[in-house]
Amino acid sequence: MGAKIKAEIISRRCIKPTSPTPSHLKSFKLSLLDQLSPNIYGNITFFFPYHAGAGTVDRPLLSDFSTKSQLLQISLSQMLTRFYPLAGRLRDPATVDCNDDGMFYIEAQATTHLSHFLSNPDPDILEQFLPSSDKQTMLSSNGSFFLVQFTLFGCGGTAIGISISHKISDLATFLTILQSWTAICRGAKEPSVPDLGLAASLLPPREIPVMSASVSIIADKFTARRFVFSASMVGELKHIVEIALGKDKNNQFRPSRVEVVLALIWRCAMLSHRPKTGSFKPSALFQGVNLRPRTEPPVPATAIGNLVWPFMVMVEEEKETELHELVKKMREGMKEFIEKKASKFKEGGGFETVMEFLKERGEMLKRKKETVIYKCTSWCRSALYEVEYGWGKPVWMSSVNKMISNTVALMDAKDGGVEALVTLDEQQMKIFEQHQELLHFAQLNPSIDLLPHSDTAKPKPFIRAAL
């Protein structure tokens, strides 16, 4: 794998809002979907090259790093005033005590140059750039919702690692927070005021047993691998699927790049699981859907909290694993979810829809104990490569989650293709990463150059995604 790299912690500190939260806002009600969400961290790390002319002289590099770090800390304090629940602590599964305890911020220094790491970016090393992987910070933070680590490389390049609790944030919420924070850093006009109480008014919390709405797959030993599908390979995949779909007059549609890439990964994962068990096992794929744009009328993109719900696609037999069949199942599953369930979240039927899903999931798992479950999150079309703190755009970003297995995280590749971080148990991964069909379309962990994100990669500018 990658080069041995150590990121050493320089400092840890708590950052509090610039202004105290008013007394009438001290108790913040979460929504039903927040209530059900696990209090675990979602992670992302941005990598920035060094553009100044200080060369390898240590003092200018450290001085530049210190200046940037001060800017990040000041802007975080200002951002927390606006997003005040982030500075609070969980009182119960449905309430945040907005006590201004703050968030935690780490400074760290890596032992190598950024180009060295990016020549072979090891997913296991990515954890070193994440604040949630630092045990002392986790003990000191006492349940902080928001953590940031700013790391200096030997060349002057930097990494900003962010961990945010799923209890209070989905992707759209994270993008709203990120957009506000980066705008403050650049001295630009801040975006519109976040809708902090809207999610709870649409889906108020209820008295329910403590449970999680997520489907997590725990494995004893699992590992992550990075696969990059170039824009040209994604085009070839789409062409193959379109030809197959075109033979059926009832299923003629143009598949998206996420659909074809995810279908191929899921297909190869199912087939690589077969040698382990000796026979094909039924499989379920869960995908999250952003509810905001899919209700009538749409919920504002600035609505804070979890407004995402999964739909499931099921494969019972091996003959159903043909690429175009999987794409068709995904499209039909999404269509059915939007037409029959998404609107219920806005019409007062959210609680019944949630309980129905949890019941169906429980029955499926009980009836199909041998079903292999996979879970996908897509950050494509979120334009995260347009993130700008004031010293240039990132040359790479990545999200790693070492807590659960059987996950697929999709992001935009620099040329407009798709980058996938796949987590499987170690035994299955050994077969999966050598699957010839997969390797025809994807490169396994290619190096990353220090050039800016391609102007041909869309969309622009930086804005929140529609999952």
Q: List the chain pLDDT tens, one digit each, 467 residues.
A: 445 788 999 999 999 999 999 999 999 999 999 999 988 899 999 999 997 644 444 556 888 999 999 999 999 999 999 999 999 999 998 999 999 999 999 999 998 999 999 999 988 888 899 999 888 888 888 899 999 999 999 999 999 999 999 999 999 999 999 999 999 999 987 666 789 989 998 889 988 755 444 555 555 678 999 999 999 999 999 999 999 988 776 667 889 999 999 999 999 999 998 766 678 889 999 999 999 998 778 889 999 999 999 999 999 999 999 999 999 999 999 999 988 888 777 666 778 888 888 887 777 666 556 788 999 999 999 889 999 999 999 999 998 766 678 999 999 998 899 999 999 999 999 999 999 999 999 999 999 988 655 444 444 444 434 34
230 and 178, same structural domain? no
What pLDDT is attached to residue 457?
45
Task: Check: CB of residue 398 under 8 Å from CB of residue 448.
Answer: no
What pLDDT is attached to residue 55?
42
Residue at 409 is within a domain: yes
The set of long-range contacts for 460-463, using a CB threshold of 8 Å and a minimum separation of 24, is: 460/383, 460/386, 461/383, 461/386, 462/179, 462/182, 462/383, 462/384, 462/386, 462/387, 462/388, 463/175, 463/179, 463/382, 463/383
What pLDDT is attached to residue 354?
84
Residue at 23 is within a domain: yes
428 and 392, same structural domain? yes
What's 169's domain CATH number? 3.30.559.10
322 and 188, same structural domain? no
In angstroms, rounded to a whole number, what is the distance separating the alpha carbons of residues 348 and 350? 6
Residue at 210 is within a domain: no
150 and 115, same structural domain? yes
147 and 281, same structural domain? no
In angstroms, rounded to a whole number, what is the distance separating the alpha carbons of residues 362 and 375? 16
What pLDDT is attached to residue 192?
66
Residue at 314 is within a domain: yes
186 and 253, same structural domain? no
Helices 257-277 & 231-246, crossing angle to 10 degrees? 80
Residue at 2 is within a domain: no
Residue at 456 is within a domain: no
Residues 6+ apart with CB under 8 A from 181: 75, 76, 79
- Quote the domain boundaries for residue 307: 222-444
25 and 156, same structural domain? yes
406 and 353, same structural domain? yes
67 and 195, same structural domain? yes
Residue at 405 is within a domain: yes
378 and 269, same structural domain? yes
What pLDDT is attached to residue 436?
96
In angstroms, rounded to a whole number, what is the distance separating the alpha carbons of residues 437 and 322? 12
In angstroms, rounded to a whole number, what is the distance separating the alpha carbons of residues 131 and 430? 29
184 and 325, same structural domain? no
262 and 161, same structural domain? no
Paired tokens of 85: 């629940």
Residue at 286 is within a domain: yes
Classify residue 307 by burial, with Cβ atoms within 10 Å: 0-12, 13-18, 19+.
buried
Mark which of 168, 202, 236 sits at the end of a domain. Answer: 202
What pLDDT is attached to residue 383?
84
Task: Check: CB of residue 351 under 8 Å from CB of residue 358.
Answer: no
What pLDDT is attached to residue 351?
84
Domain count for the chain: 2
What pLDDT is attached to residue 47?
97
Give the predicted TM-score (pTM) of the model.
0.90
Instruction: Characterize 403-426 residue by residue with b for buried, 16 or more Cβ atoms within 10 angstroms of its Cβ, and e for exposed.
Output: ebbbbbbbbbbbebbbbbbbbbbe
